[in-house]
């Protein structure tokens, strides 16, 4: 499970579940897996509280899921991510990077480009974890 949100409304409860596949490189969950989890949760909710008026939504965390920092920086090493970070003297910046490595409170990144630059070495970017404001996986189509 990636996330669970429960919203109580008058005479109705909304239960939203986002799934994550820990063994898949991108965490992708199939529609069949979402259906199986939804059926099992419905069965359990009916057994535990048959009078509960609820709506259950089960979905994948998504291809451009929000990153949990710092854990996902290790998990998604080598995969493009979009990061928003504090940059000295210029406010917040945003960029797309491939995660190369993380050592303690520093993350080593390579700027991501769809084009393959022949013979040119990309400049490595080093950020402090405290400077990363948010991040998402980035899908390059």
Over residues 50-103, the pLDDT tens digits come to 998 999 999 988 878 888 888 888 888 988 999 999 988 778 899 999 999 999
Distance of CA 82 to the CA centre of its chain: 11
pLDDT of res. 89: 77
Q: Dihedral of CA 102/103/107/113: which sign?
A: negative
* Average pLDDT over the chain, rounded to an integer: 87
pTM assigned to the model: 0.73
Secondary structure of residue 138 in the 3-state scheme: coil
């Amino acid at each position: 499970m990636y996330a669970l949100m429960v919203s109580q409304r008058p005479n109705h409860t909304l239960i939203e579940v986002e799934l994550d596949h820990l063994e898949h490189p991108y965490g992708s969950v199939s529609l069949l897996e979402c259906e199986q989890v939804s059926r099992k949760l419905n069965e359990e909710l009916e057994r535990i509280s048959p009078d509960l008026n609820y709506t259950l939504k089960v979905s994948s965390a998504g291809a451009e899921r929000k990153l949990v920092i710092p854990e996902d920086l290790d998990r998604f090493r080598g995969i493009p991510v979009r990061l928003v970070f504090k940059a000295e003297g210029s406010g917040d910046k945003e960029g797309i990077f491939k995660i190369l490595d993380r050592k303690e409170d520093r993350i080593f990144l390579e700027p991501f480009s769809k084009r393959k630059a022949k013979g040119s070495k990309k400049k490595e970017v080093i950020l402090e974890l405290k400077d990363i404001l948010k991040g998402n996986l980035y899908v390059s189509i």
